Structure 1
Amino acid sequence: MSESTPERAQVADDPEPEVHVPTILTVDDEPSVLSALRRLFRLQGYKTLQATSGAEGLELLKANQVDLVVSDMRMPEMDGSRFLELVREHDESVSRILLTGYADMTATIEAINKGAIHRYMAKPWDDQDLVLVVRDALERRALERRNAELVELTRVQNEQLRESNQTLEARVASRTDELQQINGMLEASYSELDQTFMLSVGVFSSLMEMRDGSSGHARRIAEICRATAVKLGLSERDARDVFLAALVHDVGTIGFPDAMLNKPVSSYTAEEMARYRRHPVDGETALMPLMQLQGVSRIVRQHHERFDGKGFPEGLAGQNICIGARIVAPASDMDELMHGALGDNKYSEERARQMLRSAIGTRYEGKVIEALIQVLDETAEEAKKDRLIGVFDLRPGMVLSKDLVSSSGAILLAKGFVFDERVVKRVSDFARREGVQMTLRVQQTGDEAQQPAEAQVA
């Protein structure tokens, strides 16, 4: 399938994929121009519709599914600016391109503001340039359609899970309940992190960790990285990119064989090490198609660079390494030092901190390490204010202060989750039925802060 014919979202049990051929509506009062555009676009495999006026174009738009509109600026009765404004009111998702043979900047600006056009091109146009612009616009629309279909598919599947939960046997029902709790946690993050987009990144990060057995490595460092970015004065958007990059920084390792995933980096063979050194570039390549992850993909590519220029894949040094990568690198290294992912030994947090400090100026930037350690200290102080409780001491209104993680490393409930009566009952019933010992960390109220912390297990 060529780039110009993106594939529609497809349910897993469909027998064959349905290919969507994009439709382009061209509007110009000159028949020769319409004929030239029709020949050009049909050579690219696109369907075409033609109209000689804005009014005729609107009628075709109402009667057909159109992906992109190419309109001339100067037309009698209704100019291109007004026409594209009406196209936008009819369907904002339709891509809009303006062709103009006049040096009329005022009219072009009006078209940009009112019609929200994606691009404008001068007449006569260069065929190759116009094809590239159209292809880019259609690919963007195809990605948006694909995302909408996936969101709808997720909604339908979640609804099916809720319905099946009423009829499944007890063990299957309890596992489904866990999935619903995870789904509830993800839905809560919609309002915080760009709704569907952030849901997809969170799910993908969890799936990666199930694959490589890292048991929460990315989740552990993501909040620390974001807090470090804020402490260093990064904007909210840049801090979010750092958080997302921490979640998916090892996406390039997803194709590693099990033999590589199950041993520390220090024991890799020469061939394995060569493959390992390619994973930042592979990770960037995997993320690049998503426009929302352009900044994230740059961090992923550079998170193994060193401050002294001896890292990989490009040997960047100092400020040439983006600040997000300078933050993710030490946070990731510290967590892996403490969990034995870099070598045969596991180090205490204090020893890991010392190793980070000793590498300032070589591996890491000094101000980043100082900010990271401040965040770790503040996090530890906040943890002292938490209360450890057994599952049967859980009450509605309590707030989870640390992710509740299953034995496989999956996030069951996210930090900040507020328990209601329904969830309290389900958690208690699950623990009693399965004989599971669970200890939760919750925020203390003012009165509880005066009492010693307790840890009661089921």
Structure 2
Amino acid sequence: MTAEALPIEALLDAEPEPAFTILCVDDEVNILSALRRLFRSSGYRILIAEGGAAGLEVLANEKVDLIISDMRMPGMSGAEFLSAALERWPDIVRILLTGYADIQSTIEAINRARISRYVSKPWDDAEMLRIVDEALAVKKLEREKAQLNSVILRQNSELKRLNLSLEDKVKERTQALEMTMGELTEVHEKLKKGFIASVRVFANLIEMRAGKLAGHSRKVAELARAIAQQLELSDAEAQDIFVAGLLHGIGKIGLPDALIAKSFVQMTLEERNVYAKYPAKGQAALMSLEHLQSAAKLIRSQHERFDGLGFPDRLSGMQIPIGSRILNIANDFESLQAGMLTDKPMARPDAIKNIETGRNKRYDPAVVDAFLAVVGKPEAAPLGREREMRSKDLQVGMVLARDLIAAGVMLLAKDYMLDERLIGQIKHFEEADGTPLKIYIQVK
């Protein structure tokens, strides 16, 4: 343990205190001898001087804590000696030895030399020891106070140093954590993009199997997410609804080709019963994927009606998950325009009106209101211009301004940033297919 770590009491006791030094000044040798004998067993260090001049010389060379001086001395009186000592060493305790006949000069000496005490001759030994002990007790307190102040100053200095060191360490650690968090955020974003990309691949496969218009699943997903945001659902809920929109038709993969090719109004009752099983099959297809369980539940209930006449579980009202209620409207709206529900495609205004007429029957009225608010907003102006490019001119970092579609299948979604691998795959696809792709790139 370092000295700075010790408690203050231990620091005060760590260094032995030097003995107090007493200077006895008198022109009579027997008086000096008596005083030396008196303090011999007290533990004090005793110095003697035979007169005032000799006393000043001792003071100039030794550290003295207390002076005992006789009043009557030849050459320099005790009052003169103690006055000179006061001027040069004011912290020394001064005691005057005086006789009864010297009372007037004693008073003058007290006033002139600021004498702490005076002791009459002949003195009482016990009284003399008590007076000196009390005087030096005050000195001891002063010494301990000075020592304590020194310790506090050292500890404050060390504390400042430790604080600076701690601040540097905290700053260094914070920077390291921020760097780590930044790296984790970047990795998380990559994983999230990879996850969404994988989901979009599934959606493309579904559309290829269904033989319908490319990009339908993405349109449903984006509209459903916009409605969720209009309803102020959480980001997590909106993300689940978006993913469910991309995968809403995954259960159709197991349906017969002839059934998939038909619009809903063209199906027979038997075919509709078979068709009604695809939402549950879609949930089952995602059963083993833990991160898609929330989306899978929404897919199962996407065709439940608000009035309870939907499928597969005949849920009604608030029994239907909010995401499924949203997905129902988004899917029907895009399907109406694509001709997937009726025998021919429906114009956008007519599709909107069709959704409105389903309020409180097929659709949740609150979700209808949110849908109308979304489709009623003017389409956002593009952030930048676009330019059609050949695949040979593509560069890493370019961003698609439109969905990349080939043979009715969406290869890459709008806003996708191209990397070297994707550019190579696009070129390879063109070579294999023998048809140049229409590639639109954002221009800032």
Q: TM-score, normalised by structure 2?
A: 0.51
2:389–2:438: 8 Å Cα contact kept in structure 1?
yes
Q: Any idea what SS the aligned residue of 1:382 has?
A: coil
2:390–2:438: 8 Å Cα contact kept in structure 1?
no
In the other structure, the counterpart of 1:405 is: 405
1:205–1:247: 8 Å Cα contact kept in structure 2?
yes
In the other structure, the counterpart of 1:235 is: 234
Distance 1:199 1:360, change over 3 A: same
CA distance in structure 2 between the partners assigned to 1:225 and 1:252 by the alignment: 19
In the alignment, structure 2 segments of 5+ residues that lack a partner are 1-185
In the other structure, the counterpart of 2:331 is: 332
- After superposition, where does 1:12-31 map in structure 2 within 5 Å? none
2:390–2:437: 8 Å Cα contact kept in structure 1?
no
1:225–1:246: 8 Å Cα contact kept in structure 2?
yes
Q: 1:373 offset after TM fit, Å?
A: 3.6
2:385–2:443: 8 Å Cα contact kept in structure 1?
yes
Q: Any idea what SS the aligned residue of 1:272 has?
A: helix
Q: How many residues align?
A: 255
Q: 1:197 offset after TM fit, Å?
A: 4.3
Q: Any idea what SS the aligned residue of 1:289 has?
A: coil
CA distance in structure 2 between the partners assigned to 1:430 and 1:380 by the alignment: 32
In the other structure, the counterpart of 1:352 is: 351
Distance 1:311 1:297, change over 3 A: same
In the other structure, the counterpart of 2:290 is: 291
Distance 1:190 1:211, change over 3 A: farther
CA distance in structure 2 between the partners assigned to 1:310 and 1:344 by the alignment: 22
Q: Any idea what SS the aligned residue of 1:389 has?
A: strand
In the other structure, the counterpart of 1:191 is: 189
* Letter of the structure 1 residue corresponding to residue 399 of structure 2: V
Deviates more, 1:394-403 or 1:241-250: 394-403
Selected match of 1:209 from 207, 210, 213: 207
Q: 1:252 offset after TM fit, Å?
A: 1.8
Q: Any idea what SS the aligned residue of 2:380 has?
A: helix
Offset from partner CA, 1:130-165 (integer Å, 9 cap, x none): xxxxxxxxxxxxxxxxxxxxxxxxxxxxxxxxxxxx
Distance 1:431 1:236, change over 3 A: same
CA distance in structure 2 between the partners assigned to 1:270 and 1:260 by the alignment: 12
Offset from partner CA, 1:73-111 (integer Å, 9 cap, x none): xxxxxxxxxxxxxxxxxxxxxxxxxxxxxxxxxxxxxxx
1:308–1:317: 8 Å Cα contact kept in structure 2?
yes
- After superposition, where does 1:12-411 map in structure 2 within 5 Å? 191=189, 194=192, 197-214=195-212, 215-378=214-377, 380-383=379-382, 387-391=385-389, 398-411=398-411
Q: 1:429 offset after TM fit, Å?
A: 10
Distance 1:205 1:273, change over 3 A: same
Distance 1:220 1:193, change over 3 A: farther
1:391–1:431: 8 Å Cα contact kept in structure 2?
no
Q: Any idea what SS the aligned residue of 1:245 has?
A: helix
CA distance in structure 2 between the partners assigned to 1:328 and 1:402 by the alignment: 24
In the other structure, the counterpart of 1:89 is: none
Q: 1:431 offset after TM fit, Å?
A: 7.3
Q: 1:380 offset after TM fit, Å?
A: 2.2
In the other structure, the counterpart of 2:19 is: none
Q: 1:244 offset after TM fit, Å?
A: 1.1
Offset from partner CA, 1:9-61 (integer Å, 9 cap, x none): xxxxxxxxxxxxxxxxxxxxxxxxxxxxxxxxxxxxxxxxxxxxxxxxxxxxx
Distance 1:386 1:315, change over 3 A: farther
Q: 1:268 offset after TM fit, Å?
A: 1.0
CA distance in structure 2 between the partners assigned to 1:220 and 1:389 by the alignment: 23
Distance 1:287 1:189, change over 3 A: farther
CA distance in structure 2 between the partners assigned to 1:193 and 1:388 by the alignment: 28
Q: 1:336 offset after TM fit, Å?
A: 0.8
Q: 1:248 offset after TM fit, Å?
A: 1.3
CA distance in structure 2 between the partners assigned to 1:420 and 1:379 by the alignment: 33
* Letter of the structure 2 residue corresponding to residue 191 of structure 1: E
1:307–1:365: 8 Å Cα contact kept in structure 2?
yes
Distance 1:260 1:426, change over 3 A: closer
Distance 1:341 1:243, change over 3 A: same
Distance 1:275 1:390, change over 3 A: same
CA distance in structure 1 between the partners assigned to 2:288 and 2:255 by the alignment: 21
Q: Any idea what SS the aligned residue of 2:409 has?
A: coil
In the alignment, structure 1 segments of 5+ residues that lack a partner are 1-187, 446-458
Q: 1:216 offset after TM fit, Å?
A: 2.4
Deviates more, 1:385-394 or 1:362-371: 385-394
CA distance in structure 2 between the partners assigned to 1:275 and 1:361 by the alignment: 27
RMSD, aligned CA? 3.3
Offset from partner CA, 1:385-407 (integer Å, 9 cap, x none): 55343225977565323322222
Distance 1:344 1:227, change over 3 A: same
Q: Any idea what SS the aligned residue of 1:367 has?
A: helix
1:360–1:369: 8 Å Cα contact kept in structure 2?
yes
CA distance in structure 2 between the partners assigned to 1:194 and 1:425 by the alignment: 23
1:399–1:443: 8 Å Cα contact kept in structure 2?
yes
CA distance in structure 1 between the partners assigned to 2:430 and 2:197 by the alignment: 27
1:190–1:199: 8 Å Cα contact kept in structure 2?
no
Distance 1:244 1:424, change over 3 A: closer
1:287–1:297: 8 Å Cα contact kept in structure 2?
yes
Distance 1:366 1:360, change over 3 A: same
Distance 1:427 1:379, change over 3 A: farther
2:225–2:241: 8 Å Cα contact kept in structure 1?
yes
* Letter of the structure 1 residue corresponding to residue 405 of structure 2: V
**Highest Rg: 1 or 2?**
2
Offset from partner CA, 1:281-304 (integer Å, 9 cap, x none): 222222223222221121111100
In the other structure, the counterpart of 2:67 is: none
* Letter of the structure 1 residue corresponding to residue 361 of structure 2: T
1:190–1:198: 8 Å Cα contact kept in structure 2?
no
